[in-house]
Amino acid sequence: MKVYIRSSACVSPQNTFNSVDFLTDIVESTGTRLSAIDPDYKEFIDPKQIRRMSHVIKMGIAAAKSCLTQADIDMPGAVITGTALGCIADTVTFLTRVVEQEEEMLPPTAFIQSTHNTVAAQVALMLECHNYNNTFVHKGISFESALFDAMMLLNEQEADNILVGGVEEMVDASFTVLTRLGLYKRWPLSNLSLYDTHSTGTIGGEGAAFFLVTSEESPNNLAQLTGLKILYKPKSIEDSITAFLKTHELSIDDIHLVITGKNGDTRNDEVYKELSGSLFKNKPLANYKHLCGEYATSSSFALWVASNIIKKGIVPEVIKDGNFKSISPKKVLIYNHYQGKYHSLMLVSAV
């Protein structure tokens, strides 16, 4: 059964939310982390509830509701999210109060909203949706796991019009820890010059991207999600990509654009550099993490980019890796890995 992306919505450090333009009004930021641009949440959430919600919950709800509105769907057949750290701000708040108040008289709100499935649960509560609801917490392949679950539900005809999202927030506590672990750079730089530094570390990011996936053909569909593959520490990523394409009766020659997860960290980008000289040689390449930053579910931003490229028939200049002629891609391959362990492949095609 074919899987289509009917609509998508994205809250990110760029002007991506309900924007008519497609990555033309680029936001440049100097530092070591990128913060998402908040939409007017009052359009999607009761103002009395907003003040009790953390940043990631508000981002997720806004993206989910906007996605449903674009698809003209009132009730999804399922709500599935992927997140690595979940509502980390509420988790930090709760643990801090446990220590400061010596485990006595603890307010329950932060604890209730500290669980990873809070975003999916809040979306369902607001929509009064009693259908299938699930959250995947699988580190760097959390979003891909959620997407894979949605594809299985569609193939088994258990649900249709499924809302799938990847959400992540960056807070001071997690940013400090990950910086000490060497994930992020220790000096400020422009996100638009991220790939010119040739050093270890990248820039942090956050965001929420939701998609309405369906098995129904429609001229309003953005793109077709042709294939998805999740890999853990593959022995040969080149062989894995070739085998993945072969299962869909394709070769690398059939791919019009490759979107990679380059993030400016020389350790992370080594595999992309090797592929650009072998399997991806002479292929138009694009990058995206200089726009959204690095986080565990950033591949959801990549899928948002790819589906819009397919629908609009253009490749924004800001994501091009090198110079190549303007193309209107019909088949886009997304290859991303997180910290060298969690690899994923997504194949997006024109409908």
Strands 132-136 and 331-338: unpaired
Lowest mean pLDDT among 2-16, 84-98, 232-246, 268-282: 84-98
Distances from the Cα of 228 to the Cα of 4, 46, 147, 244, 247, angstroms:
13, 37, 8, 9, 11
Q: Which 3 state secondary structure label does DSSP give 308?
A: helix
Residue 10 lies in a domain: yes
- Which pLDDT score is estimated for 110? 78
The answer to whether residue 78 sits within a structural domain is: yes
Asked whether residue 175 carries a pLDDT value surpassing 90, the answer given is: yes
CATH number, domain of 229, equals: 3.40.47.10
Is residue 88 situated within a structural domain? yes
Tokens describing residue 30: 């100097």
Residues 193 and 335 in one domain: no
DSSP symbol at 124: H
Q: Are 197 and 246 part of one and the same domain?
A: no
Same-domain status, 187 and 247: no
Q: State whether 331 and 184 are in the same domain.
A: no
How many domains does the structure of the chain reveal? Answer: 2
Same domain, 293 and 168: no
**What are the strands of the beta sheet with 162-168, ordered from one edge?**
132-136, 78-82, 162-168, 207-214, 4-11, 223-232, 342-349, 331-338, 257-260, 285-287
Alpha-carbon distance 317 to 349, whole Å?
20
End-to-end CA distance of the chain: 14
Three-state DSSP state, 75: coil
Indicate the pLDDT class of residue 181, thresholds 50, 70 and 90. very high
Q: What is the pLDDT of residue 106?
A: 79
pLDDT higher than 90, residue 219:
yes
d(CA 63, CA 8): 8
Over residues 322-348, the pLDDT tens digits come to: 888 888 999 999 999 999 999 999 999
Residues 239, 254: Cα–Cα separation, whole Å: 16
- Average pLDDT estimate for 160-167: 97
* 19 belongs to a structural domain: yes
- Statement to judge: residues 82 and 179 lie in one domain: yes
Q: Containing domain of residue 101, as a range?
A: 4-214
- Map tokens 């929509």 to a residue: 127
Same structural domain for residues 181 and 72?
Answer: yes
Looking at the chain, list the stretches that DSSP marks H as alpha helix, in order from N- to C-terminal side.
47-50, 55-71, 88-100, 108-112, 118-127, 142-155, 172-180, 237-247, 266-276, 289-292, 299-312
Using pLDDT thresholds of 50, 70 and 90, give the confidence band for residue 3: very high
